[in-house]
Amino acid sequence: MVQVRYYSGYIRNFKKLCEELAITPLSREQREEQILIKGFEKWGTRLTEHIFGAFAFALYDDSADKLYVFRDPVGQKQLFYAVVDGELLCNGDIDAIVSDRRFEKRLNKRMLQQYLFYGYPIGEETFYEGVYKLRGGHFLEWDGKEVKLTCYFKPLFRPEDKSLDEFADEIKAVVTEILEEERADTALPYKESFLSGGVDSSYLLAASDAQCANTVGYEEADFSEAHLAQATAEHFNKGFRVKMITPEMYFARIPTVMDKMGQPLGDASAVAFSIGCQAVKEHADVVYSGEGIDEFFGGYNAHKREIPSDWVYLTCSHIMNTDVVKSLMLDYDENVKPSDPLLGLWEEAKKEDQLDSKLTMDIAFWLDGDIYLNTDRTSTACGIELHTPFSDYRLFEVASRIPSKFQFREEQNKYVFRKAASSILPYESAFRKKVGFPVPVRQWLADERYNQPVKEKLFGTSSQKFFDQAQMKDMWDRFIGGETLLWNRVYAIYAFLLWYDLKF
């Protein structure tokens, strides 16, 4: 007998699976449980090859007396595990593991050192000694004695010889297939969507059954895309709501975000996303979001820049170099290298085209460690179900076959995706220069009307345990004095200290 011990997520292609596995109409909860059980009985650990969606689950097979734990190919849903008193604990909420009375909480200073470099918890280790992340595209087996990890998916690229138009047509066909599956769940008749001024969320809104678009805005016009989002929503006759974020609202929200995130995250957009999720929850339970496209199709400027052939690409995000980390940390460990978590996969990825190798690393580490940590934990904390159709494996499968020459045209990134999107989007929306998800926190952090709690943390008791106070003062004085590019270092350290004081 197979039992579901843990499950988080949603199965997008449930209709096809129910037909294939002879599952009669049931409630969603019962349906998904039966898909996991019957699918495992039929396909075993190859079950994940048949499920499309976002998922993390644990199944106990009493015939083998083993626990099997799975995570979706790119890691949209979080999954952590630890062995405590001979028992494997696993959960998408790391706090559910470390709050077990048998678990002794100890800070993993190796992860702190990596975090200061990257700005997010990278790789399999976590901020807690003895707790590990099951990476996307992996499953584990637990027989009561040892953990056996297996990688079932690697985001490697193998370009094919087809035309630009042929690939654009493939993208359109797959997007249509995915969104038809989303529409098939009639138990979820009302959905909304997050919308920025970019092509990803615009294409998703236009092609999906979302009835209303949501965005966040700021009084600082240079950081707000609300007017662009509104124009797109009106073009497609969709509803539109904007949540204006003030500095007071933003800083008041940070402690809640760090608490619910489970681990520190130096990505300032997570707070804005949390406020946006909270606003959506007032009128919807399910919302679409367009994550995945930048990593699948080459959406960042870092993807354009050439790196020396003997370098390791350390993902698109790193906020401090090793010299800065070393100067700040009191217990810097020379044996902990930023490249450590990446080397195994890099040996395979570097054999590819340089763009393709970068995308492989960003999907496996940055998308998993930063973006999905934020979107999963934040949306869950706010009580909404986040659907990310553009993170579907089938869209990656198309992207993995596209030559890099189709990803960049002049100043345009992810060109072939834009080409596909232009079939239904206005030209301006499809080919607008990427803005990202900007937050004016660099200005707010330097404003004494808002930054006193930040300053108190940076020079408080906990800070003195980890950081050289003279170096901290130098960083702070330089930032306040006008070196605005230091904002992300300030924010990341503040996020860690805030989290540490909440958890220890």
What's the angle, vertex CA 279, arms to CA 29 and CA 214, rounded to 5? Answer: 90
Average pLDDT over residues 12-30: 94
- Give the pLDDT of residue 78: 98
DSSP state letters, 259-298: HHHSS----THHHHHHHHHHHHTTT-SEEE--TTHHHHHT
**In this predicted model, what pLDDT tens digit does every residue of 72-84 receive, in sequence order?**
999 999 999 999 9
User: How far apart are the C-alpha atoms of 51 and 32, rounded to whole Å?
Assistant: 10
Region 2-151: CATH code? 3.60.20.10
Q: What number of residues does the chain have?
A: 504
- Give the pLDDT of residue 436: 59
Residues 484, 476 contacting (CB under 8 angstroms): no
Domain 164-313+350-438 part of CATH 3.40.50.620: yes
Average pLDDT over residues 236-265: 97
Q: Edge to edge, what strands does the sheet with 2-11 contain?
A: 2-11, 53-61, 66-71, 138-142, 147-151
Average pLDDT over residues 418-426: 97
- Confidence tier at 351 by pLDDT (50, 70, 90): confident
- Confidence tier at 243 by pLDDT (50, 70, 90): very high
For 191, 281, 377, 407, 482, the CA distances from 384, given in Å and listed in that order, are 11, 6, 10, 33, 39
User: How far apart are the C-alpha atoms of 504 and 498, rounded to whole Å?
Assistant: 10
3-state percent breakdown (helix, strand, coil) of the chain, nearest 5: 45, 15, 40
pLDDT score of 188 more than 90: no
pLDDT score of 111 more than 70: yes
User: How far apart are the C-alpha atoms of 123 and 108, rounded to whole Å?
Assistant: 13
Q: Over the range 27-62, which residues count as b (16 or more CB within 10 Å of their CB) and which as e?
A: eeeebbbbbbbbbbeeeeeebbebbbbbbbbbbbbe
User: How far apart are the C-alpha atoms of 213 and 7, rounded to whole Å?
Assistant: 29
Q: Nearest-CA neighbor of 386 among 180, 193, 206?
A: 193
Residues 56, 77 contacting (CB under 8 angstroms): yes
**In this predicted model, what pLDDT tens digit does every residue of 423-439 receive, in sequence order?**
999 999 999 876 655 68
Long-range contacts of 161-165 (CB under 8 A, 24+ apart): 161/403, 162/401, 164/406, 164/416, 164/419, 165/419
Residues 442, 490 contacting (CB under 8 angstroms): no
Instruction: Indicate if the alpha-carbon torsion angle 21, 25, 27, 30 is positive or negative.
Output: negative
User: Token pair 């494997």 is at which residue?
Assistant: 88
Q: Please, what is the average pLDDT of the chain?
A: 96
Average pLDDT over residues 410-427: 94
What's the angle, vertex CA 426, arms to CA 420 and CA 430, rounded to 5? Answer: 45
User: How far apart are the C-alpha atoms of 476 and 45, rounded to whole Å?
Assistant: 51
Q: What percent of the chain has pLDDT over 90?
A: 91
For 1, 198, 426, the CA distances from 421, given in Å and listed in that order, are 46, 11, 9
Average pLDDT over residues 254-274: 97
53: left (phi over 0), alpha (psi -120 to 50) or beta: left
For 200, 218, 347, 484, the CA distances from 443, given in Å and listed in that order, are 27, 12, 40, 8
Average pLDDT over residues 158-184: 97
Give this prediction's pTM. 0.96
pLDDT score of 352 more than 80: no
> Where does 299-425 have alpha helices with state H?
322-328, 343-349, 354-361, 372-381, 393-399, 415-421
Delimit the domains of the chain by residue range.
Answer: 2-151, 164-313+350-438, 442-503
Residues 393, 73 contacting (CB under 8 angstroms): yes
For residue 103, give every residue at least 6 positions away whose Cβ sits within 8 Å of its Cβ, in sequence order, or none: 82, 84, 89, 97, 130
